[in-house]
Homo-oligomer: A and B are copies of this chain.
Amino acid sequence: MSYATLADRCREISQLDHAIAMLSWDEAVMMPRGGGSARADAMAALAKLEHRLVTSPDTEALLDAAKTETLDEWQSANVRQIERRFRRAAALPERLVAERSRATVLTEQTWRDARARNDWQAVSAPLEGVLDLTREVADRLAAVRNLAPYDALVDGYESGLSTAVIDPLFARLRATLPALIDRRLGAQCEPLPLGGPFSLDAQERLSRDLMERIGFDFEHGRFDVSHHPFCGGVPDDTRITTRYDVEDLFSALMATMHESGHAMYQQGLPSAWRDQPVGDAAGAAVHESQSLSIEMQVCRSRPFLEFATPFIRRAFAIDDSNPAWAIDNVERVCQRVARSLIRVDADELTYPLHIVLRYDMERALLERRLAVADIPEVWDVSMHELLGMRTRDDYRNGCMQDVHWFAGLIGYFPCYTVGAVMAAQLFAALRRELPDVDDRVRHGDFAPLRAWLRTNVHGNGAKHVGLDLIRVATGAPLGADAYLDHLHARYGNSEV
């Protein structure tokens, strides 16, 4: 009875989630600029209404009663997820939820324009406001969850993830990667340029074709263009975006496959639990593990490139004898390592250092050890230290490149690299169980791969979350070994 009442309410809450997800997608992909303020108001009102439903006064009693009822494994996990959401929401007053929604939507809009103008001044005051609201959220969550404020934010993105897990992991990467990068940079051959231009229409057709082959369901999804690629929407209507570069075919294509990994996760969530918390994705790090599984473990691998290259050649009428399109050269392009300023364009090997930089800085920002005014300088110094590059006054390619802080997403960044670590561990397990997976991929047969991910990750929903999910799926606790093995296998070879 109590469980059923909670489940009914969750159904209503999930409809508000649907509306919020679609309005967010629309804001990034469709909305005219002049609609921004009205949209921010609408999003704030929906956030407030949702908060009111999640924190309904009888929830605590219903949760207590539900725990005494006879529930199956999924229902029990659902109660756990309902309680988690309730505790986090109840820690925050409605006023704070609405203010934060409005401030982050508006600051993101400001950032979008200001970044194009390289205008740090225009965003620093709004960022202060978002940070203050985020600190208040973190402090309130920390108090009820008995965690440090930064951990309370991280835990919101991936249940159970914390600095205690991240710190040793990142310390190991910090200790290992610079030497590996140096060695690779000294050893790798510069690939032949792939030519171009690559017409946008043909790029789009090719992307749609490969998306469909790997498992994106267009009956339940869309594919559009936005400033920055992302995956949004809901499981029955999953929407991904990309952005094209007429000179760089693989930039859009790999971004598309990355988002397709997110989309396949979302579309593969358990359909019987669509409108319940246990039917949601396990968390942000697990989500990133799925996009990185598709992009890094599959699509940048030699077997996939052997499968895809003939399609690409056909799509752009490239001659079979063109040496730039020989498989060895295509692989070099897709696995090329280079120190660079922009995280989203970074290769697999340097990427974690971009995250380490942000992780250190956002903790310091939240804990008031770093002032907003000092962000550009600290960014510049850290980039130099970690990747040997300077950004100075190039804010656009420095501290203004990512939307996260402006959108209030403090605590999200570590999920990217934890996701990469998870992906490697999941794929090591998958390869043990499906020894012929590379052969299948080489022939364009993604069904076994998809089935494994469906069984062990997608279809699990939030029955197991975070580190638990990885332990159940791989039989071992989360660790960096598989990840470092993968990086060494792909990039450690001295002759490439």
A-side residues, CB < 8 A to B, are 11-12, 15-16, 18-19, 22-23, 26, 30-35, 37-39, 41-42, 44-46, 48-49, 217-222, 233-237, 274-275
Contacts and interface: CB of A to CB of B under 8 A. Distances in A.
> Which residue, A12, A35, A39, has most C-beta atoms of chain B within 10 A?
A35
B30 A42 contact: no
Contact of A39 (B30, B46, B217, B237): B237
Contacts of A46: 15-16, 19
B30 A15 contact: no
A230 to B, nearest CB: 16
A275 B42 CA distance: 11
Given A15-B45, A23-B19, A26-B22, A34 B236 contact: yes
20 contacts: A12-B49, A16-B49, A18-B39, A18-B41, A19-B42, A22-B22, A22-B23, A23-B23, A26-B26, A31-B222, A32-B221, A33-B219, A34-B217, A34-B236, A35-B220, A35-B236, A38-B234, A39-B237, A41-B275, A49-B49
A233 B31 CA distance: 10
A236 B35 CA distance: 5
A38 B16 CA distance: 11
Contacts of A42: 15, 18-19, 22
Please list the 9 inter-chain residue pairs (A to B) with the smallest Cβ-Cβ separation, ordered nearest first: A35-B237, A15-B45, A34-B220, A18-B42, A34-B219, A38-B236, A15-B42, A19-B19, A35-B236
Contacts of A274: 38
B234 A32 contact: no
Contact of A15 (B41, B221, B236): B41
Nearest to A33: B219
A340 to B, nearest CB: 34
Contact of A34 (B23, B41, B237, B275): B237
A233 B35 CA distance: 10
A289 B107 CA distance: 40
Nearest to A26: B22
A124 B39 CA distance: 38
A246 B16 CA distance: 40
A221 B31 CA distance: 8
Contacts of A235: 38
Given A31-B222, A32-B222, A33-B219, 5 more contacts: A16-B49, A22-B23, A30-B30, A31-B237, A38-B237
Contacts of A18: 38-39, 41-42
Contacts of A217: 34
Contacts of A19: 19, 23, 42, 46
A35 B39 CA distance: 22
Contacts of A23: 19, 22-23
B236 A37 contact: yes
Contacts of A11: 45
A13 to B, nearest CB: 9
A102 to B, nearest CB: 11
A108 B289 CA distance: 39
A377 B373 CA distance: 75
Contacts of A218: 32
B220 A30 contact: no
Nearest to A221: B32
Contacts of A41: 15, 18, 275
A222 to B, nearest CB: 6
A487 to B, nearest CB: 37
A45 B30 CA distance: 24
A36 to B, nearest CB: 8
Nearest to A42: B18
A117 B37 CA distance: 43
Contacts of A45: 11-12, 15-16
Contacts of A37: 236
Contacts of A34: 217, 219-221, 236-237
A452 to B, nearest CB: 24
Nearest to A218: B32
Contacts of A30: 30, 222
Contacts of A32: 218-222, 237
